[in-house]
Amino acid sequence: MPSTEQEQPVALNNSLQCSSCGATLHFAPGTHHLQCSYCGETNEIQETSTAPIVSFDYLDFIAGNNGSAPSLSASVVSCKNCGASTTLPPEVNSDNCAFCASPLVIADAQSRQLVRPHYVLPFLVAQAQALDSFRNWLKKLWWAPNDLTKLVSGDARQFKGIYIPHWSFDTQTVTDYSGSRGDYYYVTETYTETVDGQEVTRTEEVRYTSWTHISGRVEYDFTDLLISASNSLPQDVANRLEPWALEKLVHYNEQYVSGFRSEIYQIDAEAAFQAAQKKMEPIIREEIRADIGGDEQTIDGFNTTCKDIGLKYILLPAWISTYKYNNKLYHFTVNACTGEVVGERPYSAAKIAFTIIAVLILIIAIIVMVKQ
């Protein structure tokens, strides 16, 4: 059951300001402390809540109640090219958009009151590790140009650490359906054929299908069904970045976000739940087919009711960057939890042509051998 209340965050004892040199402390990926990039001073992060990680009532949330959590004030800059809106660290004076690499006009940043995320998954993969994952990904690409890994060495400094907003849904579904069950049966049939000028009678087993109308009900519980709240990071890319180590979620704490960008959600909870229902459909169809049974199944129609809808508004970490090859820009994203890389890549036309020719030669050789 989704919770309707959230424990209020306690006041932070640790400042984001370095006590030694006054610089802003940044979260160090894979740790539980903040670190000063100038003098190396570290501060342990104080957790803001000891409450368990739970989902919140969806209907209550869209009614305007964010689990009793206060709103969040942040400086937001919008990309004039792709429309992505992100928060930036206060010390950043110039930057490029993490999603399209276009220059950001920092002077246009606006202070806004934002919906406070419920939870955040802190960066587990450091910048240098992300670069290693990217290089390994390049080496494993099929039909990639021979000089790709030499020309695209990558630079860790080009990686933008950004928290991508996601909605996580829990719900119990009940689906009423109607359809048909097909069961195979076999009939021995007789036929004749001419062999050496003589009519010969033979028999064979012929398969038929007996269809029976079926209606019924299936139930399925969905947990942590993720929908990206970003238009800048396409949903198919977000899906390919899964899975995430959601067991390592922590209550939202500005200290985990310090030094990183955070995108503001562009897809609201209601639109995201509609996307979640579409994502549920293939799984529900498989449940229906399993319930119908038999050798074949057809589904004429079904109606699904979602009960006890729970929601979490969470931030998931990613390293985003671009690289150039032959003057063309390619984007890629690294899951900063697992190191999984999802990206665009160039293809070698020569390698593809060579492969096609080699396959055709092999097929021709096999045909010649069979005829001989």
* Residue 212 or residue 261, greater confidence: 212
303 CB-near residues (< 8 Å, 6+ apart)? 175, 176, 177
Predicted local distance difference test score (pLDDT) of residue 67: 62
User: Is a pLDDT exceeding 50 seen at residue 11?
Assistant: no
The share of the chain scoring above pLDDT 70, in percent, equals: 88
Considering only CA atoms, which of 1, 146, 141 is closest in space to residue 60? Answer: 1
Predicted local distance difference test score (pLDDT) of residue 307: 96
Mean pLDDT confidence for 283-296: 97
pLDDT in the model for residue 148: 64
Domain range list for the chain:
26-172+223-270+312-354
Q: What is the mean pLDDT of residues 197-212?
A: 91
289: confidence class by pLDDT, cuts 50, 70, 90: very high
pLDDT at 8: 38
Question: Residue 18 pLDDT > 80, yes or no?
Answer: no
Q: Which residue has the higher pLDDT, 145 or 207?
A: 207
User: In the predicted model, what is the mean pLDDT of residues 15-29?
Assistant: 76
Which of 96-100, 193-197, 289-293 reaches the highest mean pLDDT? 289-293
pLDDT at 304: 97
